[in-house]
Structure 1
Amino acid sequence: MALVVVVAGAWFGYQRLSGLSCSGELPLVVSATPEIAPALQSVADQWQVDGGAVDDTCVAVQIVASDPVDVAAVLAGQHGVALAGVGQASGTAVAPDVWVPDSSTWLLRLSSLAPGFSPTNNESVARSPVVIAMPEPVATTLGWPDQQLTWTDLLQQITTGINLRTGIVEPTRDAAGLSGLLALGAAASEAGENAQQATTAALRTLATGRSALREDLLARFPRSADPASVASSLSAAALSEEDVIEYNATEPPIALAALYLEPAPMSLDYPYAVLPGADPAKAAAADGFFELLNEVAFRDQLGDRGLRASDGTWGTGFSAPQGAPSPAGTAPATIEPESGGTAAGGLDPVVIDRALATWTSVTLPARMLAVIDVSGSMLEPVPSAGNATRADVTREAARRGLGLFDDSWALGLWIFSIELDGEQDWRELVPISPLSSQRATLEASLAEVVPKQGGNTGLYDTSLAAYRTVQDGWAAGRVNSVVIFTDGRNEDDNGLTQEQLLAELAEVADPQRPIQMIYIGIGDGVSQQELEAVTEVTGGGVFVTEDPANIGDILLKAIALRPTTGG
């Protein structure tokens, strides 16, 4: 009888501890990037067998394998923001209770735009260093595996050499591509006076070999051991270590080497993000599931799938690429956009915005009319820019932007105040035409961006005229846009009223031939509400900075966030 009592007591205790006595069902939807989803599914299945529960209610964890870009699109839509390059959500993606993307940069990009997006936990559950993947014969010519290469070495190879065919997965949609872009950008920034030239050259080289999907990029590596095939195929791309392991597991004719360049680029860190709005029961279930991801069993599950544990070491079953260090990769990221100015492994979120904006401006063909305010207030000095005038700062931003746009762009330039050309408030300096034939003309014309003493701001008449001009020459296959730089409100008493401007734009706007109106407001005299009333009719966006010294970054950000549909 004593034995029976002990056994019965043990069984009752096991039931209480394991939750086998639970009833009902509490669903917990976890959306995870595809490479980690099977490991999470194994843990979820075992937890269900063991009777995982919250307050005696059984937890049913549903793991949904989803590309991070698809979930990011859903969440951006929920919060009324647009992530550069992400586009609209697909019909199949859903907002989960817990999101495990491949990188904290997704969380950072969302939280920096949408204050209401504030997920909790955010701890890393796995890691995969970002490497440069190269066919082994190509890597050998660069000294692999004995020589330690740097990002500066790679930058020199891709901008001055002829032997490397480089590629990248679209960095606005792929975290490993973004990491590689940031690392190359940091290397280029060390080129001193030639930094912009080095950056532009690197991005244009990458852009010639970019792919929208990782699978497409991987398919461009050599499919034959024939030297001619190796020479004509993709020879270098920023990918995750897990990508290389998975690729080599298929036993391709030419295996890929994983080059761990210094300084180490931002790793994929697989954050466990409990999304805002979860009720207390689901939040408790999410916490319970997370605890299981700190156990040895999960580390081994990760190893079987080519992933490291969050500390950069690996469990059993991990097939390390030749030369792989352990631990490896950067520390897990933080996602708070106000965490002392740094985030995502020590990166300022502004750095990510700038990198993506520069990438977009360099690689996205467009047809644009730039319109610069030359009213009297543009003579106001800017203390943060060494007391250069607002016009000086704007001219310099335009000159730098011009250096980023390649010859596929078509660009025109106007200036405006009031009565610059008879009773007309604007004057055309250069008509919209290909940069390939008028880059020097445009740069020289910037010298004519000179403020008119005492001139007012004829904003409304100019806006309508610029819109109609771009519409008259609308080009398919490009983003057609008007970019207006202004430091004030409409001050033309003899021109259109706001009501008349909005009515005219609503009448001429054609959804089949979209034109983005982009306003870049300079200083504290701009009414953002006034400008947003226009872009609500036309599409586009309003970007205002009280410090005109920031106008260069604002210009890049404005260009990067242009919708690309329809154009």
Structure 2
Amino acid sequence: MTDRQGHHRSTEGHRGVSKGVIFAVIALIVVVALVVGWFSLRDRVSDESDAAAQTCVDGDAQLNVTADPEIASQLEAIANKYNETKPVVRDSCAHVAMIAKPSEAVRVALAAKDWDVAALGPKPALWIPSSSQTLNRVAAGVIDGDPKSIASSSVVLAVHKALADELTGRKAGWGDLPGLKGISVPLGPGSDSTLLASEAVAAAVANAGFGPLSEEAARSGPVVAALSQLVTNSTGKATDTAAALNALVGEADSVQAVAVTEHQLSSAGDKVVAYKPVGATIVADFPAATLNGEWVDETQSRIASMFVDFLRQPEQAKTLSDAGFRTGEVERSLQPAAGPVLDQLANVLAHPTLGANTTVLLDVSASMSNPLVGVVDALHRYVNGAGDSSGFGLWTYSKGLDGPKPYHVDVPLGPLNRNAANSALTAVRSTPVTTDQAYPTLIDAYRAAVAGFVAGRTNSVLLITDGPDDDSTVNGQQLLDAIAAATDPSKPVRVNVVALGAAPPQTLRSLADRTGGSVTTGPDAGAGIAKALTP
């Protein structure tokens, strides 16, 4: 009985494991295997992606960079260092190719329809000109994003020490440069310092402080006269800054001074020194600008961004600093003017005129009694602001102001005499006469202007009227014929008209067109007079 019971217990102890437990264990093993396999597969895919990237599955991608020659050699050395890092951008092996071309030549070419590869090399995706002023003159849409300055160099005057001491003694400023004897003003490609210096001159003459210089100031008589005098007084035959500096160092062509960057001056040796004119500092800031066009793809834009970041790293900044450039923050300087302003300055440099030589014909008939106050104020402002080389004459007209003549010559045309001109303007009064004789007055004034013609200036007659209400015996055609007969092609004189009332008759419009003048209408006498008297 006992044995049988024991045998029974032995049989119970050898029962099999539950099938549910077995299935659970197997399922767990399968899940673990799947998880391990998934992570292994993910890592494998990641490793394969990294390997594919490092082997540049999309091939090579070249970033063409054009830089101003002043900084190109240093940038090329930095580009070589960048290429040595074997950068990979968007599955492409990136390579930076640097070429040096004058900033102005590139600016002009970007505005042209066809890029001259033979002259300028490949069209760049990244452009590093000498200054933000150059970029400001480029058409909208050409620059992608915000350019970043990679280095800078202040513009100074390179002179011999004796002249530097003299200029220091009299605290000469930028506004004194037009009267400086022996200054060289090169205007060809590679003369970017000239435009920067001219902007500083214009800002000083216009009392613009740290700027930016306005378009109105750039077109004003004093600025136009100052820049024209600067160019007219230029010494030497150099067409670029480097050649002008060489002439100064070699004491050739009577060159005594030339505007350069501090970096350019650092290579000139110890024969010349820097003089920094009093006034706002102006700098060449070498901005790196990514270009926007069909020749620039996303990969090149990405490479350009990465390369600019590389250029601005401390190690590369030290390379530029060791070469004589400034890096990091610079002292407060003149804010770059807008493109149209800089275009105006460049136009004056290319086509200088030593101010205006103008005879003003001022209607003083009864209807002018109210507008006369604003007109006289505007003429006072012109007289006080005109360049010293300007010529000025003032005739008032109505009827019978000087015996049988309908006009009176208050100030004969000649070199500007501010005291005489201001005194005559202060004495101007309207007459009770309601009509005038503008046409015979115009004929006599035009003849006098041709006789008093001054070469190198803008010679003109300016008619200011709210009419005319001419009741003379001279009709419109006779006026046009008389002016045509008095015209001398070698002594061109413009006729400008400022009409303060209704639109002037077609006769005056025709006269202005034939002589190269202009017609300005509207109640704002100041704006019309300023426009008409701008050389």
Letter in 2 for 1:294: V
Residue number in structure 2 paired with 1:364: 354
Alignment match of 1:320 (pick from 324, 333, 337): 324
Q: Distance in 1 between matches of 2:354 and 2:481?
A: 31
Query: TM-score scaled to structure 2, two decimals?
Result: 0.58
CA contact (8 A) 1:523 1:548 kept: yes
Residues 82-105 of structure 1, C-alpha deviations (whole Å, 9 max, x = no match): xxxxxxxxxx99xx9987654444
The answer to whether residue 395 in structure 2 is matched with residue 414 in structure 1 is yes
Distance 1:177 1:501, change over 3 A: farther
Distance 1:483 1:509, change over 3 A: closer
Q: How does 1:67-466 map to 2 (within 5 A)?
A: 68=104, 71=107, 102-105=130-133, 120=143, 121=145, 123-135=147-159, 137-138=161-162, 153-155=171-173, 167=183, 169=185, 174-182=194-202, 184-185=204-205, 210=234, 213=239, 214-215=241-242, 217-219=244-246, 221-223=248-250, 234=256, 238-245=259-266, 247-248=267-268, 251=269, 254-257=271-274, 259=276, 264-271=280-287, 282=296, 287=301, 290-291=304-305, 294-297=308-311, 315-316=319-320, 318-320=322-324, 327-330=329-332, 364=354, 367-380=357-370, 389-401=373-385, 404-406=387-389, 410-417=391-398, 426-434=407-415, 444-447=423-426, 449-455=428-434, 466=445
Q: Distance in 2 between matches of 1:461 and 1:215?
A: 56
Distance 1:263 1:396, change over 3 A: closer
The answer to whether residue 449 in structure 2 is matched with residue 470 in structure 1 is yes
CA contact (8 A) 2:401 2:408 kept: yes
Q: Distance in 2 between matches of 1:473 and 1:334?
A: 40
Distance 1:506 1:273, change over 3 A: farther
The answer to whether residue 460 in structure 2 is matched with residue 482 in structure 1 is yes
Distance 1:452 1:333, change over 3 A: same
Q: Distance in 1 between matches of 2:399 and 2:470?
A: 7
Q: What are the ranges of 5 or more consecutive residues in structure 2 without an aligned counterpart?
A: 1-40, 114-118, 211-221
Distance 1:237 1:336, change over 3 A: closer
CA contact (8 A) 2:149 2:285 kept: yes
Q: Distance in 1 between matches of 2:208 and 2:61?
A: 61
Distance 1:216 1:269, change over 3 A: same
Q: Distance in 1 between matches of 2:476 and 2:229?
A: 45
Distance 1:203 1:442, change over 3 A: same
CA contact (8 A) 1:417 1:425 kept: yes
Superposed displacement of residue 484, structure 1 = 1.0
Letter in 1 for 2:378: T
CA contact (8 A) 1:418 1:456 kept: yes
Residue number in structure 2 paired with 1:35: 70
Distance 1:9 1:360, change over 3 A: closer
Q: What are the ranges of 5 or more consecutive residues in structure 1 without an aligned counterpart?
A: 79-91, 144-148, 191-197, 304-312, 338-348, 382-387, 560-567
Q: Distance in 1 between matches of 2:149 and 2:375?
A: 50
CA contact (8 A) 2:365 2:435 kept: yes
Q: Distance in 1 between matches of 2:444 and 2:154?
A: 48
CA contact (8 A) 2:184 2:255 kept: no
Q: Distance in 2 between matches of 1:286 and 1:420?
A: 75
Distance 1:183 1:242, change over 3 A: farther
Residue number in structure 2 paired with 1:13: 53
Alignment match of 1:538 (pick from 492, 499, 515): 515
SS at match of 2:323: coil
Distance 1:358 1:510, change over 3 A: closer
Alignment match of 1:65 (pick from 95, 101, 112): 101
Identity of aligned residues (%): 20
Letter in 2 for 1:254: K
Q: Distance in 2 between matches of 1:156 and 1:60?
A: 40
Letter in 1 for 2:248: F
Superposed displacement of residue 267, structure 1 = 2.0
Superposed displacement of residue 361, structure 1 = 13
Superposed displacement of residue 393, structure 1 = 0.7
Q: Distance in 2 between matches of 1:429 and 1:423?
A: 16
Residue number in structure 2 paired with 1:340: none
Q: How many aligned positions are there?
A: 463
SS at match of 2:359: strand
Superposed displacement of residue 389, structure 1 = 0.8
CA contact (8 A) 1:464 1:501 kept: yes
Superposed displacement of residue 481, structure 1 = 1.5
Superposed displacement of residue 513, structure 1 = 4.7
Superposed displacement of residue 482, structure 1 = 0.6
Superposed displacement of residue 181, structure 1 = 1.3
CA contact (8 A) 1:167 1:210 kept: yes
Letter in 2 for 1:450: R
Q: Distance in 2 between matches of 1:502 and 1:73?
A: 44
Distance 1:515 1:416, change over 3 A: same
Q: Distance in 1 between matches of 2:448 and 2:353?
A: 24
Q: Distance in 2 between matches of 1:495 and 1:316?
A: 76
Q: Distance in 2 between matches of 1:131 and 1:122?
A: 24
Letter in 1 for 2:394: L
Greater shift in the superposed pair: 118-127 or 495-504: 495-504
Q: Distance in 2 between matches of 1:243 and 1:390?
A: 50
Residues 126-174 of structure 1, C-alpha deviations (whole Å, 9 max, x = no match): 453434335574599599xxxxx8x994449979xx9x96747379983
Superposed displacement of residue 478, structure 1 = 1.9
Letter in 1 for 2:383: R
Superposed displacement of residue 503, structure 1 = 7.6
Q: Distance in 1 between matches of 2:307 and 2:505?
A: 47
Distance 1:487 1:14, change over 3 A: farther
Letter in 2 for 1:242: H
Q: Distance in 1 between matches of 2:327 and 2:243?
A: 28
RMSD: 6.4
Residues 21-58 of structure 1, C-alpha deviations (whole Å, 9 max, x = no match): 89xxxx99x886553566778899999999999999x9
Greater shift in the superposed pair: 466-475 or 527-536: 527-536
CA contact (8 A) 1:136 1:254 kept: yes
